Amino acid sequence: MKISPLTLYADDDVTDGRESIAIPESMRKFYGSDLVMPPLVKGRATVSVNFVVRRDGVVNIPEDPGGKAINGGNTGDIAFMAILRATHDAVLVGSETLASEPHHLWTPSYIYREFGEELEAWRLSNGRSRYPTNIIISRSGMVRDPENLARKIPLSLDYPVFNTPELKTILVTTKEGASVLGDAVLSHSNVTLLTIISEEFERELLVVLLERFGITYLLVEGGPTVNGAFHAKGLVTDDFLTLAPGMAGRTQDSRRATLMMGHEFPPNAIPTPRLISVRRSDNHLLIRERYN
């Protein structure tokens, strides 16, 4: 499938001549340049966040699993997501995101095969695994029951993300969550159980991911509560946000989630990132922001 190149308006990383990753030529033509990775953070994994958001901030509609109503079917956004997954060492999501997209694999080819298979071959040619490591966070070891969203059930290991050859998966939980998950996860050949006991859950996780698993660049793809937790601790370096046209709307008691949930910054302490790049795909804007 032929895809139109993104319209490049500005990219400070490219203008400043920062060292980039030489992505495959067809992807470079689509993106308008090679990809510059975020500045490394010493002593822990460096975090990027990737979301598509409607202009009123809505990122999730419960009755729309997979987010097609949010993305609006924009191929440019999906193709760029494949590039981000390929250039990061691991992709992290929360268990609620997993439950809402139970068949999903957080790999390049799962979302955009036209780029994905070439990107995965590119990873192999650079001495990396075919797929980025998939990381699932479930602090409680529980997940919403799809048959009854008002209750939670123990997280199952039957999801494809836990059972796909060549795909390494890390299941992150707390001491309490590990007791819920039980011994089955310990004997699962594709899954590594990682228990974080520190009160600084997210920060400790990033340290362990670097020291134990060699994960330098981590891509966070959801959900909004996970995004909120990393932002609240000041752990995000770059935000990759696709701004989709139109507003989805929310009622006072809406279950529709906005970009950042679970934390509020006081008015005088709202983090303000720098705008790094702007690209356009049809009516969508692909924006990159940096916090340090």
Q: Is the per-residue pLDDT at 11 higher than 80?
A: yes
Q: Is the dihedral of CA 194, 200, 203, 208 positive or negative?
A: negative
Binning pLDDT at 50, 70 and 90, where does residue 228 land?
Answer: very high
> What average pLDDT does range 268-272 have in this prediction?
94
Q: Is the per-residue pLDDT at 66 higher than 90?
A: no
Look at 46-55, 182-191, 242-251 and tell me which has the smallest mean pLDDT: 182-191
CA–CA dist 282, 229 (Å, integer):
32
Structure tokens at 178: 């590990």
Q: Is the per-residue pLDDT at 10 higher than 70?
A: yes
| pLDDT for position 23 | 96
CA–CA dist 180, 158 (Å, integer):
16
| pLDDT for position 182 | 87
DSSP secondary structure string, 5-64? PPEEEEEHHHHTT---B---HHHHHHHTSPBPPPPPPTTS-EEEEEEEEETTSEEE-TTS
Q: Is the per-residue pLDDT at 1 higher than 90?
A: no
What percent of the chain has a predicted confidence (pLDDT) above 90? 85
Phi, psi of 134, deg, nearest 5: -100, 130
Residues in Cβ contact with 162 at an 8 Å cutoff, skipping those fewer than 6 apart:
169, 171, 188, 190, 191
Average pLDDT over the chain, rounded to an integer: 94
**What is the model's pTM?**
0.95
> What average pLDDT does range 20-32 have in this prediction?
96
| pLDDT for position 288 | 98
Q: Bigger pLDDT: 62 or 172?
A: 172
Q: Is the per-residue pLDDT at 273 higher than 70?
A: yes
Q: Bigger pLDDT: 1 or 203?
A: 203
> What average pLDDT does range 171-192 have in this prediction?
91
| pLDDT for position 144 | 84
Structure tokens at 278: 């702007």
Give tens-digit pLDDT for 103-153.
999 999 999 999 999 999 999 999 999 999 999 999 999 998 877 778 899
CA-to-CA separations, 77 to 265, 281, 286, in angstroms, rounded: 29, 7, 7
Q: Bigger pLDDT: 184 or 208?
A: 208
CA–CA dist 116, 256 (Å, integer):
30
CA–CA dist 211, 233 (Å, integer):
20
> What average pLDDT does range 90-100 have in this prediction?
94
CA–CA dist 112, 108 (Å, integer):
6
The runs of H, that is alpha helices, within 191-246 are 201-213, 224-232
Structure tokens at 232: 């609240």
> What average pLDDT does range 59-76 have in this prediction?
86
3-state SS class at 279: strand
Binning pLDDT at 50, 70 and 90, where does residue 2 land?
Answer: confident
Structure tokens at 114: 């036209």
CA 252 to chain centre: 28
